[in-house]
Amino acid sequence: MKSKLVKAMAFAIAIMFFAFPSWAISYTSGNIVVSDPFARATAGPARVGGAFLKIHNNGNQTEHLVAIVSSISDQASIHQSLEVNGIMKMRPIDSLEIPPGETVVLKPGSYHVMFMGLKGRLKKGTSFPIRVVFKSGARVNINVPVLGPGAKSADPKR
């Protein structure tokens, strides 16, 4: 009887390992799920840094990402990278829409969280907290791991 229980638990744990790889972190607050955050390590003196994450809206109203609050830099904002005729442009945006039932991914070449006036270097292997703020008043506190300077996703193997 006992061994059956142990087996069942071992099985459950194994399933958890396969279903949720260690890098797949998610944070839920109300209808909003923020997952797979990562930042890129910065070069010594660079005072800007970028972070990426996924936002899912479980609600039936559109949510608007309006701010990122963090103490690691003087300013944090949401930026969009746009390629226009082979020219890369990066511009701040005021608000990012998350339609009901959808996931918006902030990823390299698209949207990113931009930290300006970093107070210190973002070192690979460390992490820092940020607060993701929505127009509805929803806010999600998350912890952002710092990966390599050219990291393209939250999965360290890629």
Partner 1 sequence: MRRWIPYTLLVVSFLILTYVTLDRYISDEGPMVISQTSQTSGNNSKNVKIGGPFTLVDHTGKKVTEVNYTGAYKLIFFGYTFCPDVCPTAMQTVSDVLETMGSKGEKLQPLFISIDPDRDTPEILASFLENFHPKIIGLTGSQEQIRNVSKSYRAYFAKVQEQNEESDDTYLMDHSSSIYLMGPDGEFIKIFSHGAPAQKLANELQSIL
Q: Where do contacts with partner 1 occur on this chain (CB under 8 A)? A: 40-50, 75, 79, 81, 83, 85-91, 108-109, 112, 114-117, 124, 148-152
CB of 131 to partner 1, least distance (A): 19
In angstroms, the first-to-last Cα distance of the chain is: 43
Q: Alpha helix (H) ranges present in 39-134?
A: none
Which is nearer to partner 1, 61 or 71 (by Cβ)?
71
User: Could you tell me the smallest distance in angstroms from the CB atom of residue 52 to partner 1?
Assistant: 9
Closest CB to partner 1 among 32 and 53? 53
CB 138, min distance to partner 1, A: 26
Pick the closer one to partner 1 by CB: 49 or 145: 49
φ, ψ dihedrals at 78, nearest 5°: -105, 125
> Minimal distance in Å, beta carbon 91 to partner 1?
8
What DSSP state is assigned to residue 12? H
Token pair of 157 as six digits: 């193997």
CA separation (Å) from 29 to 26, 32, 35, 128, 156? 10, 5, 11, 19, 26
| Whole-number Å distance between alpha carbons of 106 and 125 | 21
Q: Which is nearer to partner 1, 5 or 88 (CB)?
A: 88
- Is residue 112 within 8 A of residue 68, CB to CB? The reply is no
Kindly state the tokens that stand for 152: 């393209």
Complex with partner 1: residue 92 or 100, whichever CB lies closer = 92
Q: Cβ 56 to partner 1, closest distance in Å?
A: 22
Q: Are 112 and 96 in contact (CB under 8 A)?
A: no
